[in-house]
């Protein structure tokens, strides 16, 4: 199972401000940090999302086909996360709404570094 996900950034301070505000919508707080990374979690025993300056010292780039999805728990939370991401300067990649069959409801956006994220709920 997933323990954590890291997203590359070239500006830790800018990315931290974005994720502090975005992930607070889920009740997440900073769980770990150093001069190279910051990780957020809702509980130390749950998976976390982190931003990081690449270890090799080269610029962070976006992975083509890579996406991180946040389990939002409700349609209202999906809408709130998407709206917050856009308000913080994120780019819309798909408005909140149903996707396919089976009750999957999701929204898609990119962070300030271009990393693609989604938030979703079932039912």
Q: Which residues pair with 48 in a beta bridge?
A: 4
Q: Which residue has the tokens 């323990």?
A: 3
Is 111 inside a domain boundary?
yes
CATH number at residue 107: 3.10.180.10
Q: How confident is the model at residue 6 (pLDDT cuts 50, 70, 90)?
A: very high
pLDDT by residue (tens digit) across 55-98?
999 999 999 889 999 999 999 999 999 999 999 999 999 999 99
Which pLDDT value is given to residue 123? Answer: 83
CB neighbours of residue 30 within 10 Å: 15
Tell me how far apart the alpha carbons of residues 16 and 12 are, in angstroms, rounded to a whole number.
6
Expressed as residue numbers, the domain containing 30 is: 4-55+66-122
The mean pLDDT value for 25-41 works out to: 96
Proportion of the chain above pLDDT 70, given as a percent: 99
What average pLDDT is seen over the chain? 95
Is 16 inside a domain boundary?
yes
Tell me how far apart the alpha carbons of residues 58 and 3 are, in angstroms, rounded to a whole number.
25
Tokens of 16: 């931290």
pTM for this structure? 0.91
Which pLDDT value is given to residue 52? Answer: 96
Which pLDDT value is given to residue 1? Answer: 67
Number of structural domains, the chain? 1
Which pLDDT value is given to residue 87? Answer: 98
Tell me how far apart the alpha carbons of residues 97 and 107 are, in angstroms, rounded to a whole number.
7
């Amino acid at each position: 199972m997933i323990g954590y996900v890291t997203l590359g950034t070239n500006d830790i301070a800018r990315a931290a401000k974005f994720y502090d505000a975005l992930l607070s919508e889920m009740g997440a707080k900073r769980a770990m940090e150093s001069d190279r990374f910051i990780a957020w979690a809702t509980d130390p025993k749950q998976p976390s999302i982190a931003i990081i300056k690449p270890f090799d010292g080269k610029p962070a780039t976006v992975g083509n086909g890579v996406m991180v999805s946040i389990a939002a728990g409700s349609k209202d939370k999906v809408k709130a996360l998407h709206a917050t991401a856009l308000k913080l300067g994120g780019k819309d990649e798909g408005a909140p709404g149903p996707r396919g069959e089976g009750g999957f409801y999701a929204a898609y956006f990119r962070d300030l570094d271009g990393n693609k994220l989604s938030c979703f709920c079932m039912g």
